[in-house]
Amino acid sequence: MDIIVISSSPNKDALTASCAAAAAEGAREAGGQVEAVRLNDLEIRLCEACDNGWGTCLPDHECQVKDDFQALHARVCQADACVVVTPVYWGEMSESAKAFMDRLRRCEATRGEESGLFGKPVIAVAAAGDSGNGMITCLLSMERWIEHVRAFKFDLIPVNRWSREYKRVAVREAASTMVREMLT
């Protein structure tokens, strides 16, 4: 079982990273092969809304902005399941998560049941490390993204400074259960 854990914080040792590590641990523990990807290590630029608003994403399901997106797009479509962990910025996902997810959505959402994520389980984690505000609005947009790409919402997990210890356990368990269920 091939699981990709995507995180999107510039900090390598903070709340987002610890939730991503918990997801990877849980998935491995259940027998999954895990690849962890930090979007901040990659060059993934913004969608340029090419041409009349749709570029090659509509007819070809590929993005014409050439950078690290293409390899990760292919990698996500190849995986059996995905965990996306973002810090909450202004009640939304991080800019690096948004850039990647926007471009992936444009390529896959219009493919219907041919989407590379069709029916695949996704766990979305929103890590709000300051006031704790905005976890739900962040998860709302992640939920919409999961729906648009026709994936399966396995879980949506809000985490704040006060809940971090027990939510780390929940993230780990969610990833572990997701892999176990796929293996049965």
Ligand X SMILES: Cc1cc2nc3c(=O)[nH]c(=O)nc-3n(C[C@H](O)[C@H](O)[C@H](O)COP(=O)(O)O)c2cc1C
Which residues form the interface with ligand X (CB under 6 A)? Answer: 9, 11, 14-17, 87-91, 127-134
Reduced to 3 states (helix: H, G, I; strand: E, B; else coil), residue 35 is: strand
Min separation Cβ 38 and ligand X, Å: 11
> How far apart are CB 105 and ligand X at their closest, in Å?
22
Closest to 45 (Cα-Cα) out of 85, 102, 5: 102
Q: For ligand X, which is the closer residue by CB, 38 or 120?
A: 38
Residue 152 CB, shortest distance to ligand X, in Å, is: 26
Check if the beta carbon of residue 21 is closer than 8 Å to that of residue 168. no
Pick between residue 16 and residue 176 the one whose CB is nearest to ligand X: 16
Nearest distance from C-beta of residue 125 to ligand X, angstroms:
11
Handedness of CA 137, 104, 154, 115 (dihedral sign): positive
Shorter beta-carbon distance to ligand X: residue 25 or 62: 25
CA distance 52 to 40: 29
